[in-house]
Amino acid sequence: MSSRWIVLIVAVATLIGCRSRREPRADEATPVAVPHDDRQAARPADADAGFAWYRVEARVDDLGVVPFLIAIHRERPEGLIYAAEENLPMVVVQRDPLVLRIPVRGLELRLAPDGTEGRLRGSWVAGFYWKRDFDIVAEPVAGPNPELLFPGGEPPAVDLSGSWRIDIKEFGVGRATFRQDSNGTISGTIIPPEIGDLRHLTGRVNGNQVRMSAFDGIHGFFMEMTASDGGQRLEGRWLVAGLQHYRFTATRKEAPPTHLKVSARMAPGKTRLSLPALDRPPYLGNPVIIDYFGSWCPVCLDLTPELVRLHREHAATGLQVLSFALEPEGDEVATQRRLDEFRAAFKVPWTFEVIYNDDFAEAFPREILDATGFPLTIYLRRDHTVAAIHTGFVSRAAGADHDAAVKHINELTAKIVAPPPASPPAKTP
């Protein structure tokens, strides 16, 4: 995979091709169905005294750490990754040493006592193209409080709530949305163009300094920013576990509608794709949404439920979805397990065609040019001419931008399922 592709898809899946290198036990063979609404996916552990809470730090070489909160039930085989606006479930595979598996995402946290009272050490097991795990340290904490992510510090000197225009050199101009309370607790997301958002960032504002993080098992992000001009300007860096950090600036100027930016286009003179599957039932003669996704891709976890909804709502029109899972070469058993969990979690009624390929540009149809975003969705009319191409998606963490993205794909789908215009009546001699 070229360095250009690595930069372009990093926010979609920092740990591309994530997969556990531990063979699953026999009692783990059944896929774990996880609801799409992550905010309800795990038990409300803050009200359950059976959970033990930890603040975890994942060390990213000499670039810094990514902090996050987890809870582990003392008796039930369950846990969660906590953020202010969502809980992601984990499965306790074993307790000594502790192995926590993150369903669908297919990664693990492995921890064991380090000899210090209550403290655990281990690894965030994240096998991917660069074949790296990350050292983690877990310290006991009282409960799910976002302030525990970044303890201490002075009161906030600015309120950063609202929308921002953010310029990340390697990605371009995007949007950011933050919500901040009087104590300085801040949450929100950042949306680089064409690749989706960073999901639920959570952190604190101390004086003019801002620190935020996000962790969902697939990716780990850490943001640190300095506010200036009375809270009208931000300057900072975005640390991506597994890669590097990226410098950015942000202002309160109007930002572009990132959900509409698409570089991908059809090659000149081309109107159809050379995909043999389209010539067979159930696709032949029906409108089709073609979906290039990956089980390792957080943005795809957000888009897939919307595709399932569209498929259900337009069933009477014959709408079909043709999904190609782009997966890393290597452990096909682990990949199939992730895909089975993926289908079960979102109740996907169609099958996936798997492409084992480390270069996305080679996997996409040759008629598509400049497809620098991911996931890639292509909307075909009944005659299978291409009506539209779309890249990326944004989660509910993006608020109004998520709503706009959903509205946009609804409109694209409505165009391809519409009945063809009636032919004019034949003229009589």
Half-sphere CA count of 203, side-chain side, radius 13 A: 24
Cis peptide before 421 (omega within 30 of 0): no
pLDDT over 80 (residue 47): no
What is the pLDDT averaged over residues 346-374? 90
pLDDT over 60 (residue 82): yes
242 and 130 Cβ atoms separated by less than 8 Å: yes
Domains of the chain from N-terminus onward: 34-147 (2.40.128), 162-258 (2.40.128.120), 262-417 (3.40.30.10)
User: What local confidence, expressed as pLDDT, does residue 48 receive?
Assistant: 67
Here the tokens at position 58 are 């994942």
What's the pLDDT band for 56 if we cut at 50, 70, 90?
Answer: very high
- What whole-number distance in Å separates Cα of residue 307 and Cα of residue 216? 22
Nearest C-alpha neighbor of 212 from the set 241, 243, 186 = 186
Neighbours of 395 (CB within 10 A): 23
- What whole-number distance in Å separates Cα of residue 313 and Cα of residue 412? 14
pLDDT over 80 (residue 84): no
Phi, psi of 339 (to 5 degrees): -65, -35
Each residue of 170-199: pLDDT tens digit? 888 999 999 999 999 999 999 988 778 898
pLDDT over 50 (residue 27): no
Name the helix (H) or strand (E) containing 362: helix 360-363
- What whole-number distance in Å separates Cα of residue 214 and Cα of residue 216? 7
Here the tokens at position 240 are 């991506």
- What whole-number distance in Å separates Cα of residue 189 and Cα of residue 212? 10
What's the pLDDT band for 145 if we cut at 50, 70, 90?
Answer: confident
273 and 386 Cβ atoms separated by less than 8 Å: yes
Which residue has tokens 């190609």?
324
Here the tokens at position 113 are 């006592």
- What whole-number distance in Å separates Cα of residue 341 and Cα of residue 32? 6
Nearest C-alpha neighbor of 80 from the set 100, 99, 96, 106 = 100
Burial class (CB in 10 A: 0-12, 13-18, 19+), 288: buried
- What whole-number distance in Å separates Cα of residue 226 and Cα of residue 209? 5
User: What local confidence, expressed as pLDDT, does residue 429 receive?
Assistant: 64
Side by side, the strands of the sheet bearing 386-391 are 352-356, 320-327, 288-293, 376-380, 386-391
Here the tokens at position 37 are 């609404």
pLDDT over 80 (residue 19): no
User: What local confidence, expressed as pLDDT, does residue 194 receive?
Assistant: 75
Question: Which segment of 37-51, 87-101, 159-173 scores lowest on mean pLDDT?
Answer: 37-51
Which residue has tokens 């300094």?
209
